[in-house]
Amino acid sequence: MADIIRLLPDHVANQIAAGEVVQRPASVVKELLENAIDAGATVIKLIVKDGGRTLVQVVDNGLGMSETDARLSFERHATSKISSAQDLFNLHTKGFRGEALASIAAIAHVDMQTRTELQELATHIKIEGSKVVSQEVVTAPKGTSIAVKNLFFNIPARRNFLKSNQVELRHITDEFHRVALAHPNIEFHFYNNGSEIFNLPKAKHRQRISHIFGSRMENRLVPVSEQTEVVNISGFICKPEFAKKSRGEQFFFANHRFIKSPYLHHAVTAAFEGLIKSEMYPGYFLYLEVDPASIDINIHPTKTEVKFDDENTLYAILRSTIKHSLGQFNVAPALDFEHDPNLDTPYSFKEKGAVLPQVTVDPTFNPFLERGKGTGAVSYGNQRVYQKTSSQGWEGLYEGLERDVYDDAFSSLTIESDGGGQEAMNLDDGETVQGATTFQLKRKYVVSTVMSGMLVIHQNRAHERVLFEKFLGEITVKQGVSQQLLFPLELTFSKQELGILMEIRESLTNIGFAFDSLEAETVKVTGMPILVPESGIGTVLDRLIADYKEGFEGGSSSQAEILAKVLAKNLAVRTGDLLDQESQMALVNNLFACKEPGFSPFNKLTYTIISEGDINKKFI
């Protein structure tokens, strides 16, 4: 039998390695930034064009490389970080495998200029698909500049899998955040398509967090600090009231390297138990210092997943440290012995609503009848009302007025209804809703009757469907109704959140939002849709940004559909909301006026019909 095993050519091996190391432009950003940090740079510039498709460039003022090192850096497993296998257990650098530049050069056009402090001239190398096109001597400042152009130019299938420029830029921004938060002692600059997004000077950890996520983050942070023989913990957690329904501001750093650890994340959420709801995510920026020999960072190509020797002890220390910080800074609830319990609402009344006063009217009362003659007094219950004893001549006040005038005027009034008012409504399966009798069950379902039995509507999902089609139509037709604010409302957002608002500003304007300015970190809101309460504008926009970000990354729907889904989700009536009779009937009418009444925007059932036969079976 002939030999069939052979060595792969270097350019093929590099392309295979690129599949592990370079998944998208953000992967290139991560590798280049980490190389710049390992080179001892104090100022790093990141330049991106078209979401990283066209250009990803990192410029630093680090040590630079000699002519030989510059050429050798693009070879596989060529590294200056380690010299033996034993060095893997004492790592203090970001990269160490020597695969990054070789993998990037295999799938892109790379242009590198580098110079050490002792050299007078810099080395300029151009590589296309692992092939060195040119190498020459040029004039350049000390440090290294690496420009990666036309990513995946020789692998069109991989290039087609990239998302839109906005989504790729969002991933690049996330990687930039992770590196910048881990190294506040380094000055960072971030440029996208010629405009500056971030200008981060050297600062302390708290200031770096505020520079990235906005000045409003300053008042949300609670410091965390603990030193033990196993681990030194420092950083900040966000106050419980600022927990969010989506992930985003959760950062773990081990020895100045960003890591992902579901196990340690559970330790943080366990410390917040009782302070936030189970579906909420607390924000945190936690820095762990451990012995390099007790951590393995080589279990994943991206080096974001790590393995600790003693995770159970680390879990317990982290959980107790956060609990201590929450109590030390009066974030966790404490017993108040000066509180007057008589001012508390009794437990039996907590779930009860206010009772409306009942007004009774005597239908037989006629002010023109002569009652109580002589005294002019008429008794109604416990009250005595005094009135005129004579009403002669009152008819003269109405001479010339005909009764028919009033009848004709009121007979022309009509009440508008989206679903046809009191008329029977046709369902998709041929059923019709009988009459206008509805009632609410457990503050979750609206129940009505149909020809074959009973109609049960899920009030939250049904309202989501109604609002989704309403907002989608307004975004498409651009006819949203806006309610102008008497006093403009100023809100603060981070630069990343502001970028998302700029991206969806036109769609928000179409449904009724009005913005006077979107500058720096401040957004001035001058108008809002009628369905949004003024007190909830900030909350709605926060949820809108978070949910829109997740929706755009998770699905392939259009921007209008995602925005309509997010608004419907946040503005729909909730389970537990009390609906009056008129609102119940309006929900039924509007639901069956929709194009797809059977399912919510998230493909969940909105209503079901319990047939008369099913009901009869219960009584057999």
What CATH number has the domain bearing residue 314? Answer: 3.30.230.10
Residue 421: the pLDDT is 42
Mean pLDDT of 411-426: 42
Q: Considering the domain boundaries, does residue 346 fall inside one?
A: no
Residue 366: the pLDDT is 75
Mean pLDDT of 189-200: 91
Rounded Cα–Cα distance for residues 366 and 155 (Å)? 92
Q: Which of 301, 328, 355 is the endpoint of a domain?
A: 328
**b/e burial code for range 279-305 (CB count within 10 A of at least 16 → b):** eebbbbbbbbebeeeebbbeeebebee
pLDDT at 14 over 70: no
Of 85, 144, 146, 77, nearest to 115 (Cα)?
A: 144
Taking CA atoms, 231 is separated from 314, 318, 494, in Å, by: 7, 9, 32
Q: Considering the domain boundaries, does residue 408 fall inside one?
A: no
Taking CA atoms, 31 is separated from 94, 96, 209, in Å, by: 9, 11, 22
One-letter amino acid of 524: K
**Distance spanning both ends of the chain, measured CA to CA:** 77
Asked whether residue 181 falls in the same domain as residue 83, the answer is yes
pLDDT at 289 over 70: yes
Indicate the pLDDT class of residue 428, thresholds 50, 70 and 90. Answer: low
* Structure confidence by residue, pLDDT tens digits, 211-222: 898 888 888 899
pLDDT at 281 over 60: yes
Q: Quickly count: other Cβ atoms within 10 Å of residue 600's Cβ.
A: 23
Q: Which of 328, 356, 379 is the endpoint of a domain?
A: 328
* Structure confidence by residue, pLDDT tens digits, 221-260: 999 999 998 899 999 999 988 888 777 789 999 988 898 8
Q: Considering the domain boundaries, does residue 351 fall inside one?
A: no
Q: Domains in the chain: how many in total?
A: 3
Helix or strand (DSSP H, E) at 254:
strand 250-254
Q: Which of 161, 185, 200 is the endpoint of a domain?
A: 200
What 3-state DSSP class applies to 240?
helix
Asked whether residue 179 falls in the same domain as residue 267, the answer is no
Asked whether residue 322 falls in the same domain as residue 215, the answer is yes
Asked whether residue 458 falls in the same domain as residue 597, the answer is yes
Q: Considering the domain boundaries, does residue 395 fall inside one?
A: no
What 3-state DSSP class applies to 176?
helix
Asked whether residue 214 falls in the same domain as residue 196, the answer is no
Q: Considering the domain boundaries, does residue 377 fall inside one?
A: no
Asked whether residue 246 falls in the same domain as residue 196, the answer is no
Query: Rg of the chain over CA atoms, in angstroms?
Result: 34
* Structure confidence by residue, pLDDT tens digits, 570-611: 888 888 888 888 888 889 888 988 988 989 998 899 999 888
Mean pLDDT of 380-388: 52
Domain hosting 305: range is: 205-328
Asked whether residue 176 falls in the same domain as residue 244, the answer is no
Pairing of the two strands 195-200 and 187-192:
antiparallel
What CATH number has the domain bearing residue 159? Answer: 3.30.565.10
Q: Considering the domain boundaries, does residue 195 fall inside one?
A: yes
* Range from 14-23, 172-181, 330-339, 520-529 carrying the lowest mean pLDDT: 330-339
Could you tell me if 188 and 198 are in contact, meaning their C-beta atoms sit under 8 angstroms apart? yes
pLDDT at 337 over 70: no
Residue 407: the pLDDT is 44
DSSP conformation letters of 461-529: HHHHHHHHHHHHHHHHHT---EEEEEEEEEEE--HHHHHHHHHTHHHHHHTT-EEEEEETTEEEEEEEE
Asked whether residue 169 falls in the same domain as residue 229, the answer is no
Asked whether residue 34 falls in the same domain as residue 172, the answer is yes
Indicate the pLDDT class of residue 417, thresholds 50, 70 and 90. Answer: very low
Mean pLDDT of 302-311: 76
- Break the chain down into helix, strand, coil percent, rounded to 5: 35, 25, 40
Rounded Cα–Cα distance for residues 102 and 21 (Å)? 10
Mean pLDDT of 450-463: 88
What CATH number has the domain bearing residue 567? Answer: 3.30.1370.100
Mean pLDDT of 425-439: 63
Rounded Cα–Cα distance for residues 292 and 553 (Å)? 35
Could you tell me if 563 and 471 are in contact, meaning their C-beta atoms sit under 8 angstroms apart? yes
* Structure confidence by residue, pLDDT tens digits, 82-132: 555 555 555 556 655 567 888 888 889 999 999 999 999 999 999 998 888
Residue 513: the pLDDT is 83
What 3-state DSSP class applies to 566?
helix
Asked whether residue 276 falls in the same domain as residue 229, the answer is yes
pTM for the full model?
0.69
Mean pLDDT of 515-544: 78
Residue 166: the pLDDT is 81
Residue 251: the pLDDT is 93
Residue 375: the pLDDT is 47
Read off the tokens for 152.
Answer: 């995946």
Rounded Cα–Cα distance for residues 606 and 301 (Å)? 45
Mean pLDDT of 304-326: 88
Rounded Cα–Cα distance for residues 144 and 37 (Å)? 11
pLDDT at 440 over 80: yes
Residue 84: the pLDDT is 55
pLDDT at 423 over 50: no
Residue 216: the pLDDT is 80
Asked whether residue 187 falls in the same domain as residue 253, the answer is no
Asked whether residue 520 falls in the same domain as residue 540, the answer is yes
Residue 566: the pLDDT is 82
Q: What is the 3-state secondary structure (H, E, C) of 364-418?
A: CCCCCCCCCCCCCEEEECCEEEECCCCCCCHHHHHCCCCHHHHHHHHCCCCCCCC
Q: Considering the domain boundaries, does residue 31 fall inside one?
A: yes
Computed over every residue of the chain, the mean pLDDT equals 80
Is the model more confident about 284 or about 160? 284
Q: Considering the domain boundaries, does residue 3 fall inside one?
A: no
Residue 430: the pLDDT is 55
Residue 413: the pLDDT is 33
